[in-house]
Amino acid sequence: MEKQRRKYTPEFKEEIVKLITEQGKTATEVSRDIEVHAGGWG
């Protein structure tokens, strides 16, 4: 059985970018904070 991928809104993705660029967090830190694998945001 194939696992379905989550779909994220453009607004969600924009917030992720803000966390990384404005707060200086790494993608790894943000992914841990929101409990989503960093490669799964796309």
Distance CA 18, CA 33 (A): 14
pTM over 0.85: no
Whether the pLDDT of residue 1 is over 80: the answer is: no
Tens of pLDDT, residue by residue over 4-41, are 777 889 998 898 899 889 999 888 898 888 887 766 65
Enter the DSSP assignment of 21.
H
Residues with Cβ within 8 Å of residue 5, at least 6 apart in sequence: 40
Q: What is the DSSP letter of 5?
A: P
CB 8 within 8 A of CB 38: no
pLDDT score at 14: 93
Residues 6+ apart with CB under 8 A from 25: 19, 33
